[in-house]
Chains A and B, each alone.
Chain A
């Protein structure tokens, strides 16, 4: 199961948590897990790589987390 499939499964099982925004206290940047999932799907569908540093950082965090859940 790849990152998108694993994340989609988690989002479907945790809809409330998936919609809760989390904020990086230093940057003030905030995003929900569902928003990140949508970004990953968009990247896959369009073939346009994500370049936003905040989203790339979040992608790395979530990939690391998905190894344990």
Chain B
């Protein structure tokens, strides 16, 4: 077998050619390389020093929404209130609204009436504490030329002097709260699910940010927090809900939730309330006398992309 001791050190080991010194030199070299690699790794991770408000031990260990006991939920809500107060200097009121018995929400949008003013978009942003920079909006209003339903012909960034413009109609799109939601099906961690009142909700503290739901949604209704959202303090809406409009964190999904903090407390969504044309109708489909029940019975109603089988709760209709 080869004897390593018989191997000669390189010629430049002139000071002492003995094996012991060679080994010392080698271990010195090794220590230097190890130290340099360690330092380089630390230097590579240096940007992490800027990390703040990323997560807390409580948030990291927090269980899934459906597994929280009422006491644990109370603690979580308090933690969120503390965090918001710390960040915005304003004590919010965070509640966990549950679906009401005997209620299933349905949304109807009258395309004859919509004038494309985007007041709904702004009301939604204000109500739901959406990030102003970068801008996140749940409602996208499409300006469609008369005579087609092809969304590829739509204009997204229209900005005329005044609306409506002749020759066009306007089609606002937001989360359709599907009865058969592809986003829920694809979520690998059940961070999004369909509640009993038909609203598809997201647990912002459970979402891992893989954006599979965003790819799955046929209505482009989901939004991702590519960076930490920023909302001016004075614009913060302090009436918040856990599954609704509390400020989100970086790296999680969000979307329209029919203003849970309002609708589960018996109010209309912000977009319905603000619409100056009366194009937006909202109500309980289990109540046969509700406005939406009448619309679905009497009007010429359709849903977007019926062929994908998502069974939306969001209906469009024409009056004339």
Partners in one complex: no
Please give the residue numbers on chain A whose beta carbons come within 8 Å of chain B beta carbons, in ascending order. none
Interface residues of B (CB under 8 A from A): none
